[in-house]
Structure 1
Amino acid sequence: MKTISARQMKAARALLGWSEDDLAARAGLKRDDLAGMEEEDLAFVAPPDAAEAVVQAFAAAGIEFLNAGGEVGVRLCPAPEVNGLRPSELNAANDG
């Protein structure tokens, strides 16, 4: 099971421009559960598999979680190529 910190969740949402409601919808969770996860309240107990659902929702949007040298972080991965082109290279001249 993948772990994710509150800081990583907030950073990933910021990179994507997502609200807690956006993430809740994509992860199939209640907004209150996400809010509790982001507060790192020791009294809060997240639903089983909530962290994994959050990680999967972020991964589908291109977020990669980094854990190197004791430091944690996130990054937005480049968009995948479509027919050999990156999304930024798509235009009317190469359409179709």
Structure 2
Amino acid sequence: MCPHSTPSAAPSSVIHPLDPITADEVQSMKQILADAGYAGSSLRYSYVMLREPDHATLDKFCSGDPVPREIGVLLLDQNTNVAREMVVDIPTRSIVY
């Protein structure tokens, strides 16, 4: 049990770091990429997957803590046949790389 947790049931809005990506997170990811100039009819999302936090982060996680959520994305530009791999940090609304 986490040192600051209580034995009561966790609210349904609490997300665990390993929960699947939600539809809202996908929409946020798309908006973050669009705001950075990665949008257009020629772009395709070839790969979208949760980047799991390291074991140290998971070991320290307690229900109610801020949840690190990074999504790995592989974008393919069909006009140029260029693929670009990126990581989007959902809580900070930034592109990590």
**TM-score of the two chains, using structure 1 as the length reference:** 0.32
Q: Which is helix-richer, 1 or 2?
A: 1
**TM-score of the two chains, using structure 2 as the length reference:** 0.32
Q: Which is strand-richer, 1 or 2?
A: 2
